[in-house]
Structure 1
Amino acid sequence: MAVMWDNNGARLPVTVLQLENCQVTANVKTVRADGSEYHAVQVAASDRPEKTTTKQMLGHFKKAGVPPKRTVKEFPVTPDAHVPVGTTLSAIHFVPGQFVDVISNSIGKGFQGTMKRWNFKGLRASHGVSVSHRSAGAIGAHQDPGRVWPGKKMAGRLGGERTTTQNLTVVRVDTTLDLIFVRGCVPGVDDAFVMIRDAKKKMESVARVAYTKGQFDKVLPKHVDDLPFPAGTRELAAQLPPVIVAPSHRVTSPFTPRE
């Protein structure tokens, strides 16, 4: 993580994410059981040696004409949004000012008690409770039902599971180093692989409702005029400034006294 300052002088905590030779490896089109079609773009990132790649994946990457990759993900798209196989994506695919969701495996914290795992309040840490002030308390419910209900919040392993941080703002994009600066923190350890997608709630759902109502000026977030299509390729990045910073969402400076 790092810090930035917007054009009003406000300090922003940001997380720096990098695209490592992110390329399209396949376009997926299948028919679901209900007869509807499913369309997706398969994207792979971060080159890896051939000797550490399975033969099945080597054949898949060779067919796509890209070097072996360490991670492969699939992103659902509309039928008209397929990207040519082999296209190298740039950080400009994400427009400064838009909202994104970041998905990764959270940091594993091992076996933890109920206070840390479920935010239990605990008992008094002074007189009368001896050494049990951090205990979970009773877990039963009398003779009836005479057992512990499934799903009871108890001590156990914490973290190490798929976690999504929603509605993070893209505040800066560096196309020279393929860096994306998002406001806030993201799940995962340092140097972990994360998946970035358009925010489902603020980008997709809100845009769909606004489009249905005919409010076309509310389809995209504030300060965002258009989204690149086809996806932000390196050819598109070469036509734009190397560093693009999103303007502040604040109307006035936070340091200006209110009237």
Structure 2
Amino acid sequence: MLRIWAIGGHRPPTLSQIRQLHSSVAASAAPSTASTSTVAAKEESAAPVSTKWTPDSIRTGLIARKRGMASMWNDQGVKFPVTVLQLENCQVTANIRTVRRDRTEYHAVQVAASDRPEKTTTRQMLGHFRKAKVPPKRIVREFPVTPDAHVPIGTTLSAIHFVPGQYVDVVANSIGKGFQGGMKRWGFHGLAASHGVSVSHRSSGSTGQHQDPGRIFPGKKMAGHMGNKRITTQNLAVVRVDTSLDLIFVRGAVPGVDNAYVLIRDAKKKIAVGSHNQAKGQYEKVLPKGVDDLPFPAGTTELAKVLPPIIEAPAYRRSPFIPQE
């Protein structure tokens, strides 16, 4: 977690609290007894091999809802845009372990969010949620993890899962824009905006060749449906976490409309760079500046109770309002 947490009206955590940042209730879970001969087995419970995060570990992600954008000011008075993401009773519903044909194993954590009435839930999913001992949910997704990052079933995840100062990737469906032409969809220049072009100012122009080949090649950029595609925005900084309201403030914009579901996970590229720095012995460059550790295997509501309700990442740059000497 961060070395220093600064927020008005809240004291920084004590040393005993900092030592608990990389642990959760998963440390007391019983080891799994699933058989390795099955092709696909969903484990009832899985205890992590280690409760300490390493650059080779891949944690589970979270399901949140995009609440909109706002503006924030850092401790130097610089204004920047943020997107507010909120968790809605995000819980673990299954630990997945699958043995592939090449004898390798696939591990994943299944997460569900947003409670829904039983009468609008299918019988199959009601049985699945009843087995996990969680209320029915509206959305269920799974996140690939390493074998040591399984989380006990039924665990309620908190916004403290992501540390202010780290980077995340956000996955969601982009805003749908309907059927659009080549200029709006692909940024084509269009034809001349002058006399003699008739009504073809925004035409895409020629799309094929001569009689040979006599067809349009697949993948040609033409008019069509724009938007409503799965988009991943990478390397967004987490600037603030509110555990009382389960809010995550990320710097910049994320895909999707307001109140849409988004998937948040640790930034893959940043973790890969940290793994390379770990191999080269540059341990101070494994995590971003100011972040000493990550909650492992996950940030739970129990961990959030021993930490301040609001945590912000300080600005590590020189103030632009102070003249240089």
TM-score (norm 2): 0.77
Counterpart of 1:2 in structure 2 is 70
1:57-113 deviation line (CA, Å, top 9, x unaligned): 100000000000011111111111111110100000000011111111111110000
Counterpart of 2:321 in structure 1 is 255
Counterpart of 1:59 in structure 2 is 127
**What is the alpha-carbon distance in structure 1 between the residues aligned to residue 252 and residue 206 of structure 2?**
38
Counterpart of 2:254 in structure 1 is 186
Name the count of aligned residue pairs.
257
Q: 1:222 Cα shift?
A: 1.4
Quick one: which of 256, 267, 274 aligns to 1:207?
A: 274
Cα RMSD (Å) of the superposition?
1.2
Quick one: which of 16, 39, 52 aligns to 2:84?
A: 16
1:239-254 aligned at under 5 Å gives the runs 239-250=306-317, 252-254=318-320
1:147-178 deviation line (CA, Å, top 9, x unaligned): 11111000000011111111111000000000
| Contact 2:191 2:205 (8 Å CA) reproduced | no
Q: 1:249 Cα shift?
A: 3.9
Q: 1:123 Cα shift?
A: 2.5
Question: Secondary structure at 2:207's aligned position in 1?
Answer: coil
Question: Secondary structure at 2:135's aligned position in 1?
Answer: coil
Identical-residue share of aligned pairs (%):
75
| Contact 2:126 2:136 (8 Å CA) reproduced | yes
Counterpart of 2:218 in structure 1 is 150
Matched, 1:197 2:265: yes
**What is the alpha-carbon distance in structure 2 between the residues aligned to residue 227 and residue 21 of structure 1?**
21
1:180-222 deviation line (CA, Å, top 9, x unaligned): 00011111111011100111112x2112212222222111111
Q: 1:244 Cα shift?
A: 0.3
Quick one: which of 204, 210, 233 aligns to 1:136?
A: 204
State the structure with bigger RCO (CA 8 A, min sep 6), 1 or 2: 2
**What is the alpha-carbon distance in structure 2 between the residues aligned to residue 215 and residue 36 of structure 1?**
31
Structure 1 stretches lacking a partner, 5+ long: none
TM-score (norm 1): 0.96
* Shift >6 Å, 4+ stretches: none
Counterpart of 1:72 in structure 2 is 140
Question: Secondary structure at 2:235's aligned position in 1?
Answer: strand
**What is the alpha-carbon distance in structure 1 between the residues aligned to residue 170 and residue 244 of structure 2?**
22
1:31-52 deviation line (CA, Å, top 9, x unaligned): 1122111111111100000011
Counterpart of 1:217 in structure 2 is 284
**What is the alpha-carbon distance in structure 1 between the residues aligned to residue 256 and residue 309 of structure 2?**
28
**What is the alpha-carbon distance in structure 2 between the residues aligned to residue 170 and residue 160 of structure 1?**
25
Structure 2 stretches lacking a partner, 5+ long: 1-68
**What is the alpha-carbon distance in structure 1 between the residues aligned to residue 205 and residue 316 of structure 2?**
46
